[in-house]
Amino acid sequence: MRFVDEARMRVQAGNGGRGCLSFRREKFMPFGGPDGGDGGHGGSVFLRATLGINTLADFRVERTFKAQSGDSGSGNDCTGRGGDDLYVPVPVGTIVRDAETHEQLGDLVRDGDVLQVAQGGKGGWGNAKFKTSTNRAPRQFGPGLPGEKRLLELELKVIADVGLLGLPNAGKSTLIRAVSSARPKVADYPFTTLHPNLGVVYCGEHRSFVMADIPGLIEGAAEGAGLGIRFLKHLQRTRVLLHLVDISPLDPQADPVRDARAIIAELKKFSKDLALKPRWLILNKSDLLPPEEAERRAKAIVRSLRYKGPWFLISGATGTGTRDLTEAVMRFLEASETLKVADDDA
């Protein structure tokens, strides 16, 4: 299935049922009076975040989702049956906007989050509600209010703890295959990954995190070049970025330092907040060099970049160094969570 991260949908809540015009007609009750019941309320439309749905592909063709309308009222003061609410499942991480006003209506970030996007119409009053001291036999009734209609814009941002970024063929898909059960496509040509892949990395009992393999970026991505901002935005929800750099000498035209700086520049152009996220340097494909030479090359790249943060020399293909990397990431996330809880309690 093709990854879809933007879509539109129309929603229409149910109309309220019509009120009833009725008078009591019973033997020995000549002055029974009005007994028309109210109409039932129309059903509302809700979006519900649901695990297991990974794209907006179900909405790639604009569809209309309608809730049930309320039934009309009836005699003997009987209220009409209310319309059933409609719940539409969407992926976790879906942002919902009104397509006409561009107002953000909600952000469904957790499994089970529910957002009302269209309010059902109220049922009309039956003629019993119009009875007064001067109008003992009212012939008025309410028609019921129409349900709300909306055109919605849906945008999906992948939710993950860790985001992988780097040029095409930097080894992101290979790394996520090595440390999780995710199985993205791996090949020796650019843009193998055409949509984000999520993998759960287990580091022991009750210790795990979600890693996202984001499609490769190229220079100009912030302006839409290559796969562009369509996938840069998926990094915004992550808590730490792993910047993969290919250190192998196979391509004589490649310059790891230049390539790393190009990715950093794209992050800054796209979002200052994204550029300020914790970003670790991951020097990949060490298996293609003798160990001593790989170590020397990695240190030279770090020095040239004047990089002061955590860095790791790994091989996604053989798994070398990946255990140390995932354990360090797990400790970082646990420490971040502890700080967050402490700040919330303060």
Q: What is the pLDDT of residues 171-206, one digit of tens each?
A: 888 999 999 876 655 545 444 444 567 788 999 887
Number of H helices, E strands in the chain: 6, 14
pLDDT at residue 327 tops 50: yes
Residue 190: the pLDDT is 45
State the DSSP H helix or E strand holding residue 268, giving kind and residue range, or none if neither.
helix 256-270
pLDDT at residue 294 tops 60: yes
Contact 51, 108 (CB under 8 A): no
**Type of residue numbered 70:** G
Q: What is the pLDDT of residues 232-262, one digit of tens each?
A: 666 777 889 999 999 988 777 789 999 899 8
Mean pLDDT over 142-147 rounds to 94
pLDDT at residue 103 tops 70: yes
Q: Which two tokens stand for residue 76?
A: 């003997």
CATH class entry, domain 6-156: mainly beta
- Sheet hosting strand 104-108, strand order edge to edge: 63-66, 6-12, 149-156, 94-98, 104-108
- Pick left, alpha or beta for residue 193 (phi over 0 → left; psi -120 to 50 → alpha; otherwise beta): beta
- Pick left, alpha or beta for residue 99 (phi over 0 → left; psi -120 to 50 → alpha; otherwise beta): alpha
DSSP string, 58-113: GGSS-EEEEPPPPPPPBTTTBPPPPPPPEEEEEETTEEEEETTT--EEEEE-STT-
Cα 225 to Cα 255: distance, rounded to the nearest angstrom: 20
Residue 184: the pLDDT is 54
Q: What is the pLDDT of residues 7-45, one digit of tens each?
A: 999 999 999 999 999 888 776 665 668 888 999 999 999
Q: How far is CA 189 from the centre of its chain?
A: 29
Contact 120, 13 (CB under 8 A): yes
The CATH number of the structural domain formed by 162-345 is 3.40.50.300
Contact 85, 43 (CB under 8 A): yes
- Parts of the chain belonging to CATH 2.70.210.12: 6-156
**Type of residue numbered 234:** H
pLDDT classification of 137: cutoffs 50, 70, 90: confident
Cα 171 to Cα 254: distance, rounded to the nearest angstrom: 15
Percent of the chain with pLDDT over 70: 85
- Parts of the chain belonging to CATH 3.40.50.300: 162-345
Residue 57: the pLDDT is 78
Percent of the chain with pLDDT over 90: 47
Q: Which residue is it, tokens 């001593």? A: 292
Lowest mean pLDDT among 32-41, 64-73, 289-298: 32-41
Residue 1: the pLDDT is 36
> Greater confidence, 169 or 95?
95
DSSP string, 150-197: EEEEEEE----SEEEE-STTSSHHHHHHHHSS------SSTT---S-E
pLDDT at residue 292 tops 80: yes
> Greater confidence, 83 or 136?
83
Q: Which residues contact 339 (CB under 8 A, 6 or more apart)?
A: none
Contact 144, 39 (CB under 8 A): yes
Contact 77, 116 (CB under 8 A): no
User: What's the chain's average pLDDT?
Assistant: 84
pLDDT classification of 220: cutoffs 50, 70, 90: very low
> Greater confidence, 280 or 51?
280
